[in-house]
Amino acid sequence: MALVVQKYGGSSVADADKIRNVARRIAAVKDKGNDVVVTVSAMGNTTDELIGLAYQLNEQPDGRELDALLSTGEVVSSTLLTMALEAMGYEAISLTGGQAGIRTDATYRRARILKVESKRVVKELEKGNIVIVAGFQGITEDMNVTTLGRGASDTTAVALAASLEAEVCEIYTDVEGVYTADPRIVPEARPLAEIGYEEMLELASHGTKVMHSRAVEIGELHHIPILVASSFTGKPGTLIHGGVSMEVRNKVRGIAHDLDVAKVTVVGVPDRPGIAAAIFEPLAAASISVDTIVQNASIDNITDLTFTVSRGQLDEVMEVISPIAKEIGARECVSDSTQGKVSIVGTGMLNMPGFAARMFSALSEKGINIQLITTSEIRITCIVDEGRVKDAVRVLHQAFELDVGD
């Protein structure tokens, strides 16, 4: 007998029939004699709808109230799924994130899990229950409900798997795994059989939506392999784990793209020690994660500093940055929300020259202008005009022969 931890995404529980289908899948796992813990997302577009409602009533809803509202989406799906299982004759119980012991900090809308106190889950398993946990949410020390960031039911699932020491965490979604690129943009894109944690983390943090990046981080930290597969087909899916042999061949594993990019430039910054800290410390204090950062070499001790953030945080960023820009004597602070980014990722490019050149020449052949470039050891990212992002993904998929297979 093993412990199986699964997660079902919003499209897998979008209506009563689909919930019943998920219940059947869970029942089959239980029938094999396993203990089963399941995390669910909210049904379909529920979270978007709840956000829409909130903003109809208040342009700046309070974080605590908004999170309490959003958490209800997952409460609905988890209780319905439990009822479906009970109707099939199975013993099951739903738990909210708080009841399941997901303890978080108090950063509403993007709270971080501090610890998982899984006593209650264990107790319910011992009673023979299938345990259905509402994803995407936790509770603070003060018993306020928090949410963990969009798409974060994955993170709930992996955190539970880690705390229960499960052998694997299974993430079921509406696609067949992690693809070489978004198949809606590149029809030749194919699902990968396996991928390393670092590669997956780079893809997920640069726009590949199939997995929440913090879920991958937790998986890597606690050595929990994560299987990403479809809840609609019997296809094998993609295993994210640490044992993937380092690519010996000259290979990019996948292409990520992201349209949720806003560029901020602090223009005419005096170039002296402490300036970057003066800008980025307050952003960090406001829990704003800054992505690409580029600072030009200065001319006459004046430089420009450019960075990107997600579009939803731009207003907040400008509020934080504008007074600081004045204080440090910068000329002005400008923003641009018409950019997107495209990244190539693969451990195969570690210490291998030539990838950047191939990427830039493929983009230039299509007449795609590169605004900013950043790299990690296993990733190269270009910021380009949002209207050219899809073209960029297609041309790079071809240039790196990702349709060919391993």
Identify the residue among 136, 179, 197, 307 touching ligand ASP (CB under 6 A): 136
Q: How far is the CB of 67 from ligand ASP (least distance, A)?
A: 11
**Angle 392-171-344 from CA coordinates, rounded to 5°:** 20
Site for ligand ASP in 6-65 (CB under 6 A): 10, 41-42, 47
In angstroms and rounded to an integer, the radius of gyration of the C-alpha atoms of the chain is: 22
Q: How far is the CB of 11 from ligand ASP (least distance, A)?
A: 9
| Total site size for ligand ASP, rule CB under 6 A | 11
Q: Closer to Mg ion at the Cβ: 9 or 254?
A: 9
Separation between Cα atoms, residue 208 and residue 202, nearest integer Å: 9
Q: How far is the CB of 69 from ligand ASP (least distance, A)?
A: 12
98 binds, among Mg ion, ligand ASP, none (CB under 5 to 8 A by kind): none
Q: How far is the CB of 211 from Mg ion (least distance, A)?
A: 8
Give the closest residue to 348 by CA, choosing from 171, 141, 199: 199
Q: Closer to ligand ASP at the Cβ: 34 or 99?
A: 99
The 8-class DSSP code of residue 255 comes to E
42 binds, among ligand ASP, Mg ion, none (CB under 5 to 8 A by kind): ligand ASP
Q: Closer to Mg ion at the Cβ: 9 or 348?
A: 9
Q: Closer to ligand ASP at the Cβ: 10 or 196?
A: 10
Give the closest residue to 216 by CA, choosing from 345, 361, 315: 345
Residue 400, burial from CB neighbour count under 10 angstroms (0-12, 13-18, 19+): buried
Amino acid at position 334, single letter: V
Give the closest residue to 374 by CA, choosing from 166, 205, 244: 205
The CB-nearest residue to Mg ion is 151
Q: Closer to ligand ASP at the Cβ: 152 or 314?
A: 152
Identify the residue among 6, 11, 19, 73 touching ligand ASP (CB under 6 A): 73
Antiparallel, parallel or unpaired: β 302-309 and 254-270: antiparallel
Separation between Cα atoms, residue 314 and residue 261, nearest integer Å: 9
150 binds, among Mg ion, ligand ASP, none (CB under 5 to 8 A by kind): ligand ASP
Separation between Cα atoms, residue 216 and residue 224, nearest integer Å: 9
Contacts to Mg ion by CB under 5 A:
9, 151
Percent composition of the chain: helix, strand, coil (DSSP 3-state, to 5):
35, 25, 35
Q: How far is the CB of 171 from Mg ion (least distance, A)?
A: 8
Q: How far is the CB of 295 from ligand ASP (least distance, A)?
A: 33
Separation between Cα atoms, residue 380 and residue 351, nearest integer Å: 13
**Angle 309-315-317 from CA coordinates, rounded to 5°:** 50
Site for ligand ASP in 116-135 (CB under 6 A): 135
Amino acid at position 275, single letter: I
Q: Closer to ligand ASP at the Cβ: 70 or 368?
A: 70
C-beta of residue 99 within 8 angstroms of C-beta of residue 140 = no
Q: How far is the CB of 154 from Mg ion (least distance, A)?
A: 6
Separation between Cα atoms, residue 157 and residue 131, nearest integer Å: 12
Q: How far is the CB of 9 from ligand ASP (least distance, A)?
A: 6
Site for ligand ASP in 142-181 (CB under 6 A): 150-153
Q: Closer to ligand ASP at the Cβ: 147 or 180?
A: 147
Footprint of ligand ASP on this chain (CB under 6 A)?
A: 10, 41-42, 47, 73, 135-136, 150-153
